[in-house]
């Protein structure tokens, strides 16, 4: 699915099921909450922490999708076209960092 299509799908879901978008500040707080849930799984699955019980081991992909959903809500309500923003961001990174990582002795 293209990102622009996902933005439209999220917008339609909000209209059909969510009544309206939460305000931008609430969605920012929700984004931080979702990132925290993702971080908890990452720390336990790939880091040095352990799960307290088996039911805590949630689906990593589902948590990533939750982050993307709320981020997309924020993009929609602030008028950000994520496809265009990602394209510009990749161009910026490529221009700025095209040799930076290759020349980083810490990565060799």
What integer is the mean pLDDT of 42-58? 83
Q: Is 87 among the domain residues?
A: no
Residue 97 pLDDT > 70, yes or no?
yes
Mean of pLDDT values over 43-56: 84
Region 55-75: what's the mean pLDDT?
91
pLDDT at 95 over 90: yes
Please name the residues in contact with 48: beta carbons below 8 A apart, sequence gap of 6 or more: none
pLDDT value of position 56: 66
Scored b (16 or more CB within 10 A) or e, 37-69 reads ebebbeebeeeeeeeeeeeeebeeeebeebbbb
Give the span between the Cα atoms of 94 and 51, in whole angstroms: 38
Give pLDDT tens digits for 6-43. Answer: 999 999 999 999 999 999 999 999 999 999 999 999 99
CA distance 67 to 64: 5
Give pTM, 2 decimals: 0.89
What is the number of structural domains in the chain?
Answer: 1
Domain encompassing residue 40: 3-81
Tokens coding 84 = 């265009």
Could you tell me the CATH number of the domain that includes residue 68? 1.10.287.1080
């Amino acid at each position: 699915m293209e990102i622009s299509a996902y933005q439209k799908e999220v917008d339609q879901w909000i209209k059909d099921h969510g009544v309206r978008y939460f305000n931008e500040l609430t969605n920012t707080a929700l984004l931080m909450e979702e990132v925290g849930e993702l971080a908890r799984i990452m720390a336990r699955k790939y880091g040095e922490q352990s799960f307290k019980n088996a039911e805590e081991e949630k689906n990593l992909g589902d948590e990533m999708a939750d982050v993307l959903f709320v981020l997309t809500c924020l993009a929609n309500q602030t008028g950000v076209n994520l496809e265009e923003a990602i394209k510009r961001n990749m161009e910026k990174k490529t221009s700025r960092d095209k040799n930076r990582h290759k020349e980083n002795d810490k990565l060799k």
